[in-house]
């Protein structure tokens, strides 16, 4: 199995992001990534099934955390409040101190149509999972679907603002700001 390398996963991820940005996603191989990280391909495959999973492997955890957190909200919590609280929790846990990596990943995605499509599909499946979690709380449709879609729109907006700047506002703070903006937009519509 080779000797233990400290922080291999993060090194592989950073090497992959840099190569995807320099050469393009399509022209980068797993061998390139491992070499740049100073690790073996075998080590790469201990963490990722393929080069696309470097970008999307985290979405399973995001999905699980969101669904769990929506389910754990007090019964009296309104649907969108449950979703927003879950998004704040995700911001605090999953993304804290990971802004540079998140920004690089987004640059990679923005540079490749196929990856953008994959990201859209992941986000749509996240919205569907959140809507299902709301239904299990007894929220009827269309409120469940609309709260889930609104939540994902809030998340995307907050995420985009969080990685666009280096302000001290964390992702959870941007989520709260985006919720306030959405409330203003819908109240005015």
* CB nearer to its own copies: pick between 65 and 143: 143
Binding mask 154-183 for its own copies (x = CB under 8 A): x-xx--xx----------------xx-xxx
Q: Find out whether 177 and 185 touch, Cβ atoms under 8 Å.
A: no
Alpha helices in the chain (DSSP H): 8-23, 30-37, 41-47, 53-56, 59-72, 79-93, 99-110, 113-136, 143-164, 171-188
DSSP of 77-122, one letter per residue? S-HHHHHHHHHHHHHHHTSTT-HHHHHHHHHHHHT-HHHHHHHHHH
CB 67 within 8 A of CB 129: yes
Residue 74 is a binding residue for its own copies (CB under 8 A)? no
Tell me: does residue 147 bind its own copies (CB under 8 A).
Answer: yes
Residues between 94 and 113 that touch its own copies (CB under 8 A): none
Q: Which is nearer to its own copies, 51 or 174 (CB)?
A: 174
CB of 96 to its own copies, least distance (A): 22
Position among 57, 146, 173, 176 found at the interface with its own copies (CB under 8 A)? 146
Binding site for its own copies (CB under 8 A): 78-81, 83-84, 117, 120-121, 124, 142-143, 145-147, 149-150, 153-154, 156-157, 160-161, 178-179, 181-189
């Amino acid at each position: 199995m080779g000797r233990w390398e400290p922080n291999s996963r993060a090194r592989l991820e950073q090497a992959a992001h840099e190569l995807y940005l320099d050469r393009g996603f399509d022209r980068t191989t797993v061998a390139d990534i491992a070499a740049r990280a100073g690790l073996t391909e075998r080590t790469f495959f201990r963490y990722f099934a393929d080069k696309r999973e470097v970008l999307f492997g985290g979405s399973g955890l995001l999905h699980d955390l969101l669904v769990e957190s929506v389910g754990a909200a007090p019964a009296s919590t309104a649907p969108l409040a449950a979703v927003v609280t879950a998004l704040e929790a995700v911001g605090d846990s999953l993304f804290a101190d990971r802004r540079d990596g998140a920004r690089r990943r987004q640059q990679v995605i923005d540079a490749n149509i196929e990856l953008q499509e994959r990201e859209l599909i992941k986000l749509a499946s996240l919205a569907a999972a959140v809507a299902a979690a709301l239904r299990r709380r007894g929220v009827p449709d269309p409120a469940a679907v609309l709260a889930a879609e609104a939540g994902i729109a809030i998340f995307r907006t907050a995420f985009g603002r969080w990685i666009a700047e280096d302000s001290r506002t964390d992702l959870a703070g941007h989520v709260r700001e985006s919720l306030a903006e959405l409330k203003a937009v819908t109240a005015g519509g």
